[in-house]
Structures are given as C-alpha cells and as structure tokens.
Structure 1
Amino acid sequence: MNEDGFNYIRNSVKAVVDAFSGEVSIYVMGPSDPLLQMYRRAFPNLFLDFDRMPTDLQAHIRYPNGIFSAQADMYLRYHITDAQVFFSQAEQWAIPQDTRFGQRSVEVHSSYLILQMPGGDSEEFVLMLPFSPAGDKKNLVGWLTARNDGVHYGKLAAFTVPSDPQVDGPAQVEARIENDQIISQQFTLWDGAGSQVVRGQLLVIPVGDAIIYVEPLYLQSEALAFPELKKVILADGSNVVMADSVGEGLAMLLEGKAPLVDTARGGAGVGGDGQATPGPEDLQSIEDAVSGLDKALKELQEAVERLRESLEEDSQ
C-alpha cells in the first residue's frame, strides 16, 4: 500500500449511469486485467463488452486523471534508461510547482487539452502534464500525454524539451506574469476596488517547436463569492500579454514579431532570448490548439451568470 492508499490500479471498466432510470451499465475496457477476469467469472451478467457501449458515449470517454497521475509519478524517475544515471538520480524530474498561491505552492495538475501532437496530422483530445528538473531548477524538460481519441485511447506519449536553450517552466512563467508591470498594476487596481483576483491554472500548450502558455483570470467580488471571467493571459518564450480573449492575446503575441523561420524544419524560429517562437506557418496550428478554450471560458461565464441570477432571485 503506497501513500495514496492503493497498490493496484487499472483502467479496466467504465460505469455508465442512466440519468433517467438510474440503471448502471458496466463496460469492459481492459479484458486482460486478472482481477476483472475473476469478477467476470463470478458475475457473468454484470459486465458488457465495450463495443456494446453506444457510439455517442464512446466519443466522450476520457483517460482517468487518477491513473495518469500515478503513471506520471513513476515516470519522474523511470524515464531514465542509463543504469548509472538512474542510480545517481542525476536526471530525475519533478512535477512543477504552481506558485499562484504565494508561499503555499502546490503541484501543477494535469490538464485535458485539444492539441496537435508532435508529428500528428490533426488535433486530438489529450491529458497532459509538464515536467521540470528535480531540485531548484524550474525550466521545462518535457511532458507526458495520454491520448483519448478512438484507437489511440489510453496510449501514453512522452516528449523531452532540448536543454539548449532552456525553455521556461510553469513556475518561471508565473514569475514573469507577476513581474510584468502592466499586469501587476492591473492586479493592484482590481484589489484596491474590493475585488479578489483569482488566477486559473496555467496551461502549457506545445505548438510546433514553440510553447504557448494560457492562464484565465477571474474577478470575485466581496458581495458574491462567484468568480467572473475577466481576462486571459498568454505567454511565449519572449513576451507576456493580457487580453480579453485567446484570439486577441495570440494577435498581441505575434504582433510586430518577425521570427527567423528555419527552412530546414519548416516551423518555428528562434526569438531574441534564444527560445523558439511561433512562425507564420504555426499561426493556424496555434489558433486550432486553443480554439476551444475561448468557447469553454465563455460557457463557464454564462453558467456563473445564470447561477448569480438564480441566487439573486432566491434572496428576494
């Protein structure tokens, strides 16, 4: 038994509850699981083959966050293939710290994203977690993804980031956000007006040879404890901007840039700080990668507004 309270975990079944009748259907995802095989022999009518799940439900299956977190924890050390390096733990990784909470930093959570995998030809739904070196260094060294779509469901893919030049990790980008004069000044104005600034989790989105960071900003009034989406912060290897939408932020990041396009690679170039920045050919990929974020944020805002109106009606 480990510190998380379990010593065996598998993605073996999916339980579906009919919201109208309450009927529960259990579909088999991992028929080779020995424990599941035992239960199927004991309860032969309880489990259904996966192909009997309705197609529209199959399209909504997600890879479990709990299993992914356990696998990511193991990968922090076991990505090392050299025995001597493994023994010395010289290249051990760590989950980056989320520094939005001041002194009380916490580990970054994995995020579900729609993006085009390196080497892929279309966008797909993935679960992703970035990595930093273990110790004091905060740069980005790689990330792990779990694929969710179709025949690729459940497949893990790991990617490493070149060490020269180093790419900023989540903690470093958060520091850049806090040190930006325009953004920090706006934070101060909001705080002075009696509103609390609530910063969403920083999303790390790989696009071609570049990394784009996206962080939603919410305002929460003292009178009503529900956050309202206010701005979106975007960052790349060189700049940090705050905008009303993801599209506007992307335009601000790319405005006035003339990245050197590496014709051999046909993608991103290198900015003045040595980090990769999106080239013209990557613009559409960037827009596709974050196209769903604006919609999701707007839907969340609409839900908050409906809840606010409902509470106001109940209080009258």
Structure 2
Amino acid sequence: MSHMRYPESLFKVQRELLSKYHVTSASQYYSGEDFWQTPVDPTESQSQQDQDILQPPYYLTLQTGGTEEPVFSLTSTYIPAGQSTREILTGFLSVDSDAGNEKGKIGSNYGTIRLQELPKDSNVPGPGQAQNNFNANADVSKELNLLQSGDTQVVRGNLLTLPLGGGLVYVQPVYVKSSGVTSFPLLKKTLVAFGDQVGFADTLDEALDQVFGGNSGAAAGDAENVSGDQSGSDTNGGQSGTTDGKSDSGLSSDRSPELQQALNDAAQAMKDSQSAMKNGDWTAYGKAQQELEDALNKAIELDK
C-alpha cells in the first residue's frame, strides 16, 4: 500500500466544503462572516492571479498538532473569504496521505483530516502577503537581481506552509536556470518567513537561523549543500557552468555547426511536440517525437 497516496482531486472538494462548513454556529453561517477561501497562488504571474488560479495542495511530510511524528500528508491553507485589504491566514488543512506499508491493509490514519484553525485575532500573513514580504525585502531583491544576469533566469519554487514550533513558517526555494536548450533549474537559495521576519540563505538551516536570530535548533539536513558558485551559469552568456570547459549540455563549448544544428532541431521538435499535444493533433505529435529522437541521436553521434 506504500505506493498509494490520498487523491488530490478529492482533497480539493473537501477543502472547498470545509471553507464554509467549518462554521458550527447557525447565525454565523447565515451571516457568512467566518467563511474562508483558498488563496490564489502567489507564485503565478499577475495575469494568472487575476484569473483566480488557486494555490494547489502540496504533498509534504510534516508533523501537525494531531500527530506525534512527521506524517506524509496533503496540505492546503485558508484565508478570509471575500476581498480583504490584508491577507491573513485563518486555517491550515492537512489529510493523512500515508496508506500504510502492509500489503492489503490500509493505514489506520489514512484519510484523517486535520484542521488547524488560527485565532481570530491572529495576524499570521497569508501566502500572498508572505510572497509580498519576500518581494519587498531589499536584501532579497538585491541578491535576486544579481542572480538574474545575462541569460540566467531566476525561478521561484512552490511557496510551502509548514507547522513549526507552534506556529506556521513559509518556505520557498529559489532556482537559477540558464537559457541553454538542455539547461535545468539548480537550487541556489532558500527563502523563509515567520511572521514578518524574512530569511534568505544558501540553505534552509541558514535561512531559519536568520529568521530566529541565531541557532533555530532545526535540522533540515541541507547544511552541507551550500551552493557556492553552482548556479548553473557562467560568465559566457549564462550557460551552465562546469569546471571542464563544457557548456550546460555537457558538450564542448566550441560546437561544430552540425552539432549545433542538431541541438536546434531537437529544441524545435520539443516545441512542436508540446504544441501538437496542446492542440490534440496526435499525428503531428508522433511526427515531432520521431524528429526529436532523430535529432538527439544525431547529436550523440556528432559528439563522439
């Protein structure tokens, strides 16, 4: 049963119902003053946020108030319903997604929903406000501008909400990615927020220490993963850097015209595949996939 997990689609329905039915008073339910809503995903572009693209649930291994040890869970958050001038967190929802590891037997707590309701006078920022705090921090903005130079692009990861020390902390990974055809995002920094305090460091451990003004006592397990200069870019146009004079694709920086053309053909085939899949044209998709395979095989042969 260990390969199973709680269905995200079911959880989305349940969190929508609980946004209203957590209210147990008939008068309060009738007034609607205590209704909640799922926040818009603050990591999306402004145009996507204007379309009310909701923050998705996230699978996380964490310890909530109703558990004695970390549990694999599906999680989401709530903010007050309606248009509010300041987004605050009102609830943290999680469901036990651990189906158990015994064959043919479902875990005893699988599907258990836990709702952590914050006090009404709480001022814990919601996800959108936390993202705004990250964006408005002068030190964070300065470092992100330095990272985003040349052809290097800064990519924000998911904004995660985690219970910690009786409160809730926000964590967001920050990646860098070059514009190379075969480049991929590399973890560079970690953003952490607790209340209005913001930490920004190479590792989660360091960011937590910044937020709590010293040794946070947390052991995220990434203390040795200091990124240093492994940003996936170098000074030559932002291509992924290595120490052996090769570019992000692992090929020699002085590529032959034939090899470069093969890589360009592969990139175009990937775009054609995505376009065909989006349009439901499976004949064109199959053709593009074959062209992609041919281009990659040619590139491999030329690089020998």
TM range, smaller chain: 0.5 to 0.7
**For the residues of structure 2 that align with 1:294 and 1:135, how far apart are their CA atoms?**
44
Structure index of larger Rg? 2
Residue in structure 2 matching 1:246, options 181, 204, 211: 204
Query: What's the offset of the Cα at 1:64?
Result: 0.9
Residue 140 (1) aligns with residue 89 (2): yes
**For the residues of structure 2 that align with 1:163 and 1:294, how far apart are their CA atoms?**
40
**For the residues of structure 2 that align with 1:192 and 1:146, how far apart are their CA atoms?**
41
Q: Which amino acid aligns with 2:133?
A: R
**For the residues of structure 2 that align with 1:245 and 1:221, how far apart are their CA atoms?**
21
SS in 1 for 2:148: helix
* Contact in 2 for aligned 1:215/1:232 (Cα 8 Å): yes
Aligned pairs for 1:7-26 within 5 A: none
Using the size of structure 2 for normalisation, the TM-score is 0.66
User: 1:112 corresponds to which residue?
Assistant: 59
**For the residues of structure 2 that align with 1:84 and 1:292, how far apart are their CA atoms?**
49
Query: What's the offset of the Cα at 1:118?
Result: 0.6
User: 1:236 corresponds to which residue?
Assistant: 194
User: 1:200 corresponds to which residue?
Assistant: 157
SS in 2 for 1:107: coil
Flag the 1:231–1:249 CA change in 2: closer, same or farther, 3 A.
same
Query: What's the offset of the Cα at 1:83?
Result: 1.7
Query: What's the offset of the Cα at 1:189?
Result: 2.2
**For the residues of structure 1 that align with 2:68 and 2:223, how far apart are their CA atoms?**
20
* Contact in 1 for aligned 2:89/2:124 (Cα 8 Å): yes
Residue 155 (1) aligns with residue 112 (2): yes
Flag the 1:64–1:294 CA change in 2: closer, same or farther, 3 A.
farther
Flag the 1:234–1:66 CA change in 2: closer, same or farther, 3 A.
same
Moved more, 223-232 or 70-79: 223-232
* Contact in 1 for aligned 2:203/2:223 (Cα 8 Å): no
Flag the 1:77–1:118 CA change in 2: closer, same or farther, 3 A.
same
Query: What's the offset of the Cα at 1:209?
Result: 1.7
**For the residues of structure 2 that align with 1:64 and 1:293, how far apart are their CA atoms?**
33
Residue 172 (1) aligns with residue 172 (2): no
Q: 1:239-293: per-residue Cα shift (whole Å, max 9, x none)?
A: 1111111122222222348xxxxxxxxxxxxxxxxxxxxxx7xx3xx53xx5599
Aligned pairs for 1:76-95 within 5 A: 76-95=19-38
How many residues are paired up? 225
Flag the 1:239–1:180 CA change in 2: closer, same or farther, 3 A.
same
**For the residues of structure 2 that align with 1:201 and 1:238, how far apart are their CA atoms?**
19
Query: What's the offset of the Cα at 1:210?
Result: 1.5
Identity %: 30
User: 1:130 corresponds to which residue?
Assistant: 77
Flag the 1:153–1:235 CA change in 2: closer, same or farther, 3 A.
same
User: 2:10 corresponds to which residue?
Assistant: 67
Q: 1:155-178: per-residue Cα shift (whole Å, max 9, x none)?
A: 111110112231111101100000
Query: What's the offset of the Cα at 1:182?
Result: 1.0
Unaligned runs of 5+ in 2: 99-106, 232-239, 243-247, 252-262, 264-295
Flag the 1:107–1:91 CA change in 2: closer, same or farther, 3 A.
same
Query: What's the offset of the Cα at 1:238?
Result: 3.3
Flag the 1:82–1:168 CA change in 2: closer, same or farther, 3 A.
same
**For the residues of structure 2 that align with 1:165 and 1:144, how far apart are their CA atoms?**
17
Residue in structure 1 matching 2:146, options 180, 189, 192: 189
Flag the 1:67–1:119 CA change in 2: closer, same or farther, 3 A.
closer
Residue 214 (1) aligns with residue 171 (2): yes
Q: CA RMSD in A?
A: 3.1
More strand by share: 1
Moved more, 113-122 or 202-211: 113-122
Query: What's the offset of the Cα at 1:124?
Result: 1.1
